[in-house]
Chains A and B, each alone.
Chain A
Amino acid sequence: QVQLVESGGGVVQPGKSLRLSCAASGFRFSAYAMHWVRQAPGKGLEWVAAISDDGDYKYYGDSVKGRLTISRDNAKNTLYLQMNSLRAEDTAVYYCTRDPGGYPLAYFVYWGQGTLVTVPS
């Protein structure tokens, strides 16, 4: 069965960096686009970034452009989110999600359990 397991969250000071990882299993990782979606505590959902199956195409939400970078290693079946210049408003649970296709169609068929990133204000 499809499994997405995020890791790398924690408490990080404003302005610092953090890298999230998502280990995928149960499907052919290299055939699907992947996304990060976040949810601030007690709030709604926000799409963060997307990457195509081969990693050639990347897309970002306006609030994270230039600070967060999505990448993938298809040999390791792993998705990443490099987070730089972190702000208090980046505090959220970050979910790794799988797209239905190889190019980002951008609805989210499978979700990981999420990893919490906390940036104190």
Chain B
Amino acid sequence: EIVLTQSPGTLSLSPGERATLSCRASQSVSRNYLAWYQQKPGQAPRLLIFGASSRATGIPDRFSGWGSETDFTLTISRLEPEDFAVYFCQQYGRSPFTFGPGTKVDIK
């Protein structure tokens, strides 16, 4: 099983600041099959990024993903008030498909 580790656990920032979230895999993720999701309290997760760097439909371009093999990053260029949430990475290169524990982005 591929274990995903996310850091930091919590990121405290102000609106307008840049957020950089890390996701590290215990083994190389095949074909960069890495996705990112956003989850707000009481809601289902929302797909942001797939294939490590492709934005899902309707996702603003302030969200960007990059990385390869074992190291991946999600960047939010300028935080909007609605971006404060928990972010999960997920690998789908090998079954079982696993998620990271999440990074909470909260308001400083």
Contacts and interface: CB of A to CB of B under 8 A. Distances in A.
- The answer to whether A and B assemble together is yes
Interface string B23-48: 00000000001010100000011110
Interface in B31-68: 33, 35, 37, 44-47, 50, 56
B95 A44 contact: no
B95 A114 contact: no
A95 interface: yes
Contact of A112 (B37, B44, B96, B102): B44
Please classify the interface of chain A as helix (H, G, I), strand (E, B), loop, or mixed, using the class held by over half of its residues. Answer: loop
B98 interface: yes
B84 interface: no
A11 interface: no
B88 interface: yes
A95 B96 CA distance: 17
A113 interface: yes
- Of residues B1, B88, B99, B101, which shows the largest number of chain A Cβ atoms within 10 Å of its Cβ? B99
A106 interface: yes
Interface of A: 44-47, 50, 59, 61-62, 95, 100, 105-109, 111-114
